[in-house]
Amino acid sequence: MERAEIKRIVDAHDWLWVNWWPALLELSPQQAHQEVGGSFASVFATAAHMVGAEKVWLERLLGNPEATFPPTPAQMKGLHENWQQLATRRQEWLTTTDLEAKISYRFSGGTATNRVAEIVLHFTSHAHFHRGQLASQFRLLGLKPPSAHYIGFFRL
């Protein structure tokens, strides 16, 4: 894939986050942490997993094959600040990285190697999966989730 294509995928991914953050930040602490079920029990736990996973992948892409999940802040505002920092770092990294580079890293099942473009496609699809869970969790709380879809970024 070309740099421009990968950049558009990451830009769309970040656009989705930007469209979700206002709804996430409007949740009361009780709503954010209320157990409603899913892969992760609450909206906050799901969002924390998503941000943590993106942080791990960014660290791996930056040359830290031993990266592990960072500490989770207690509230959504702190999670948002963490995401803003990682999104900025990721955009900076994207301007200079070799998209064909192979990245080796450790994970719970051992070690693996992937091309940069494959990792970008993975962390964006991972977020799509969990964003669907966030939408369900919002509905279980009696709330309306944001209406932001990946294709919306690309519409002319």
What confidence score (pLDDT) does residue 2 get? 87
pLDDT at residue number 50:
98
In a domain, 31, yes or no: no
pLDDT given for residue 141 in this prediction: 98
Task: State the total domains in the chain.
Answer: 1
Distance, C-alpha 23 to centroid of its chain: 16
pTM of the model: 0.95
pLDDT tens-digit map of 89-139? 999 999 988 888 999 999 998 999 999 999 999 999 999 999 999 999 999
Q: Which domain holds residue 69?
A: 3-22+37-154
Alpha carbons within 13 angstroms on the beta-carbon side of residue 65 total: 10
Please indicate, yes or no, if residue 27 is contained in any of the structural domains. no
Report the pLDDT value the prediction gives residue 111, as an integer from 0 to 100.
Answer: 96
85 part of a folded domain: yes
**Is 148 inside any structural domain?**
yes
| Residue 30 falls inside a structural domain | no
Q: What per-residue confidence (pLDDT) applies to 30? A: 97
Q: What pLDDT digit, counting tens, does each position of 53-95 carry?
A: 999 999 999 999 999 999 999 999 999 999 999 999 999 999 9
Distance in angstroms (rounded) separating the CA atoms of residues 132 and 60:
25
- CATH number of the domain bearing residue 64: 1.20.120.450
The predicted pLDDT at position 99 comes to: 86
Mean pLDDT value across residues 143-151? 94
CB-neighbour burial class of residue 131 (10 A; exposed 0-12, middle 13-18, buried 19+): buried
150 compared with 50, residue with greater pLDDT: 50
Does a structural domain hold residue 28? no
